[in-house]
Each structure stands twice: as structure tokens, then as C-alpha cells.
Amino acid sequence: MSKLEPQLISTLKGYSKDQFLKDVIAGVVVAVIALPLSIALAISSGVSPEKGLYTAIVAGFFISLLGGSRVQIGGPTGAFMIVVYGIVAEFGMEGLTLATLMAGAMMILMGLLRFGSVIKYIPYPITTGFTGGIALVIFSSQIKDFFGLKIDSVPADFIGKWQSYFNASGTMHLQTTAIGVLALLIIILWPKINRKIPGALIALIVTSLIVKFFGLTEVETIGSRFGTLASSLPVPTLPNFSLSEMRLLLPAAFSIAVLGSIESLLSAVVSDGMIGEKHRSNMELIAQGVANGMSAIFGGIPATGAIARTVANINNGGRTPVAGMVHALTLLVILMALMPLAKLIPLASLAAVLIIVAYNMSEWRAFQRLFRAPKSDVAVLLTTFLITVLVDLIMAIEVGIVLASFLFMRRMIEVSNIGVGNLDFSEEQTPGLGRGKDSDEKVESERTSIAVTGRIKHYEINGPFFFGAADKFLDVLGELGVTTEYLIVGMTNVPIIDATALHAFRRMIETCKKKHIQIILAGVGDQPLKALKKVGFYAEVKLFATAEEALEYARARVSA
């Protein structure tokens, strides 16, 4: 069970000066990385640039202060961009604030109800599919600013967006495109020169200086689009709201809560593998909920654990939540001291930053590898990817989970079978008890058809006995002969049984009572036995530890 205690409390026990210095350095480095990303993600989400910094500062601080991960770095991420843009377009900034507050409350509730471990088990093809879909949507959203296209309003849907780009392709601005390409090249090539200073920051500085000193006034910048930027945190305020507005925003809030929970826990799992520790999933959800609520109150946007920034934190020596708190405080200093200079940043350079983010998010190699997986997994991957791109992110997750569940049930049905047992086995040939190869082949061949063996019949259930296999069981029962007096059901290989299978058992008992057939169960495991006792079937049947004992009992009665 995930412990509801912030990792900060645990890590401060035995905290050393040496680790503090490492955490401070890591926090400052991550803040430098987060600066351009926070601004770029805010703009692409349809809000003003400083709101991205508010989010990284406030939410980032509380995620580290209360979080269940030692090294998680929180802030705005590309995954929220689509959802936030849609909410702002329909409900405005007040609607986004209310939706984020509601999402925060949902995440806190999920943590208190111990849902953390459940969310982590979303199948890999689903997470890969929707992450790849988000990456493509982020890339698509940057085309206008990267090429300086003259489009009054870019459609929200993917196909409409690209149609508008092609229609406006003749308006491409060469100076803007050149700035975007230069920023892209700097981001790609800079790591070969220096890996400590992020290439995105160098790209923004170089391109801003070029636009300023070469007088490229036609290249759109943050200042030309948004005007003067705030250089301090706003006064915390709560939005005006009504129950009717809350009902309208409920799907959007649920989308933020689910997406934030999934991404933060995925990031925590990745960081666990890198530092050899284990995060507290339920505490992490509570921290994410508090952080989103505080971000909304301070005028920010939704936040979650950011995988790239978390990895950068680890690589630079961060090992405790202190690093994440330093990262937030460093961004606060930058906001207060340097925010007026941010208006010089070209939007094409920010578009280049997000194109690289989209490329890194796409995980195209993992996407490619999954095409060698079973066809059912490929179907889940492609379905999730296409719905994310063409319809909606949360619908993609929902459909992906439903599809994956159905395919999983189909696999379980395929491995579950009801076969006839060998009534002439010796001690070495007891079904399920170490048969030799020849005997295995003999029994397997007998399972291809239902054989009537006179007054005693022996069936074996192999695999999970759930609703998918219950129908097979009832079909086999239909083959009971008129001379059958004892029905032995071997359950050595049945790990679980569900309500539908118990209903099938009830029908078996009713059928056997009418035909005066005694039911004998052999090798019943713990979970099936508890289920049978709970529904009152225990007194209706006779139980033996092995099929051999059951057969000896039945043979003795038949002989008598």
C-alpha cells in the first residue's frame, strides 16, 4: 500500500550538505531548461506567456514539497496543450481556472482512495499511442508560427488545421522561416558543444538578438503579439462559478485529472528506474491535485510531472525534492528580474522548441517496435493514436482501454479450455501432476473430442474460469450421458473464478440434481474455494485434493 507521506520528510533524514549543493545545481539547471518550455507551452495552449511560468513556479514547488517521488519535476507539459486550448477557446480563462481546480480536487480524491496503483497499469500500447498522437498534434500546432503564415484563425481539428496551412502556404514569411530554422539547428547541434546549458535557451537568446539588432520588425515576437508581460506572481483569486458551469466543465476537469495522473505516475516510474527508488503513487496524486489547485488560484494552467525535466534533474545530481523546490524558486527570480526581456523572443523560435518537444515525445522508435508485437496490440496502438489525433485525447484513452480489455478477454478465452480427463491414469499420470510427454500428448489428443466413459465422467478446467470460459463449460455439460452417475471436475489449473462461472456452476448443480449425478470437485484452489463457499455451493459438492482421490472414491461407489 502506497504510504501517504511526502518524500521530502523521508529524504531530509540524514540530509547532507554535499547533497544540498547537488540539489541546488540540479534545480538551477532544470529551471533554465523549463524557462523556454513553460513560455512556449503557455502560448501554444492559448494563454499568455507568463502563465506558463506561474504554473512552473507554483505547481512545481508544491509537487516537490508534497510529492511521492524524490526527483519529480512538475510544470506545464505538452500533453495538456490540446485540452487547455480547447477549454480556453470555449470557456475562457475563468473556465480553465475552474476546470483546473475541479481536476485538482479529483486527483486528491483519487490519491485518498488509493487509485495510484490502478492508473499505472494502463497498457503500454495505449500510452505509446496517445503520446505519439499528442506529439503529432503539438507539431501540427507550430506550423503557422514557424513559417509565419498569415492565418486569422487556425481550426482546432487536425484535418482542418492542415487544410488551412496548405491554403495559406503562399503567405509564408521567409525571414520568420529563417529564424525558425536557425533556432531548430541550434537546438539540435548545441549539445555537441555543451550539454550543461540547454540548446533551447541558446536558440532563444541568439534569435532574439538577431531580430532586435538586425531590425527584423516583420518577424512576430512575444511582445508584438502579447504586449507588456507581468513580472511578478499575481494575487491569488478564486473564480466565480455556478453549479451549472461546473456541470459543463466536468468532462474537461476529468480529462485534466486523468491525463495529469497518468503522465505524473509514468514520469515517476521512469525516475524510479533511474535512481533505484520507489515512489509513493497515492501521495504523488495528492500532491498533483494540490499543485493544480494552487496553480489555478495563482492564474496558472494545469501541471503534471514532466519526464524530460525530471530526467534532467536526475542527470545533474538531483536526488531529493529540494531540487524541484530550487527549480521553482529560480524561475520566480527569473520572472521578477528578466521577464521584460522575454517580449523580444521570436514566436518562430518558440515553435522550434516545441517541434523538438514533439519529436522527443513521439517515441517513434518505441512506436516502430510495437509493430512487431501481436496484431491485437498493434490494433490498440493505432486506434489510440488515430483517435487522439482526429477526435479527442480522453476518448482515445477510453476507447483504447475498452479495446485492450476486450482483446485481453479474448486471449484468456483462448487459453481457457474444458477437456475430458483420462480415467485410466496411474499415479504418474495424474492430470496436472507431472505427466510425462507421451501422456501429455495422449491427454491433449483426447481433449479434441468429448468422450463418454460410462458411469464416471471426468472433465478438467484449464486456465482462468471467467465469463469467457463459462459458455464452453456449459456446452461440455450438455454432453453428459444418461448413464453418468459421477461427474468429476478437475480444477487444479484454475487460478480464479468469477460470478458468471459461478452461475455456470449453479446450472451444473441443477442439471446434475435432475439427473441424479453426484458432483465431485478436485484440486480446487484458494480463490475458487472461497467463492464457492461464499455462494453456498460448498455443501452441494464433494471435494478432494487430487483427481486421483476423486476417481478412487467414484470407482469404489460404482463397484459397490
- Domain of residue 516, CATH code: 3.30.750.24
Question: Which residues of the chain register pLDDT less than 50?
Answer: 424-453
Q: Mark whether 353 and 423 lie in a shared domain.
A: no
Q: Mark whether 529 and 401 lie in a shared domain.
A: no
Q: Mark whether 346 and 430 lie in a shared domain.
A: no
Report the C-alpha gap between 293 and 99 in whole angstroms.
10
Quote the pLDDT of residue 422.
54
The answer to the question of residue 180 being in a domain is: yes
Cβ-proximal residues to 232 (8 Å cutoff; 6+ apart), any chain: 335, 336
The answer to the question of residue 248 being in a domain is: no
Amino acid residing at 326: V
| 329-338 core/surface letters (b: 16 or more CB in 10 A; e: else) | bbbbebbeee
Q: Mark whether 151 and 295 lie in a shared domain.
A: yes
Quote the pLDDT of residue 437.
42
Report the C-alpha gap between 202 and 210 in whole angstroms.
12
Q: Mark whether 425 and 400 lie in a shared domain.
A: no
Q: Are 342 and 37 in contact (CB under 8 A)?
A: no
Number of domains in the chain: 2
Q: Mark whether 107 and 141 lie in a shared domain.
A: yes
The answer to the question of residue 132 being in a domain is: yes
Q: Mark whether 54 and 34 lie in a shared domain.
A: yes
The helix (run of H) or strand (run of E) holding residue 441 is helix 437-446
Quote the pLDDT of residue 448.
31
Q: Which one of 383, 406, 429 terminates a domain?
A: 406
Report the C-alpha gap between 94 and 89 in whole angstroms.
11
Q: Mark whether 313 and 375 lie in a shared domain.
A: yes
Domain of residue 341: give its range.
16-229+257-406
**Would you tell me how many other CB atoms lie within 10 Å of the CB of residue 458?**
24
The answer to the question of residue 240 being in a domain is: no
Quote the pLDDT of residue 152.
87
Q: Mark whether 309 and 449 lie in a shared domain.
A: no
Q: Which one of 361, 384, 406 terminates a domain?
A: 406
Q: Mark whether 392 and 442 lie in a shared domain.
A: no
Name the grid cell of 539: 455443501
Q: Mark whether 90 and 55 lie in a shared domain.
A: yes
Q: Mark whether 202 and 341 lie in a shared domain.
A: yes
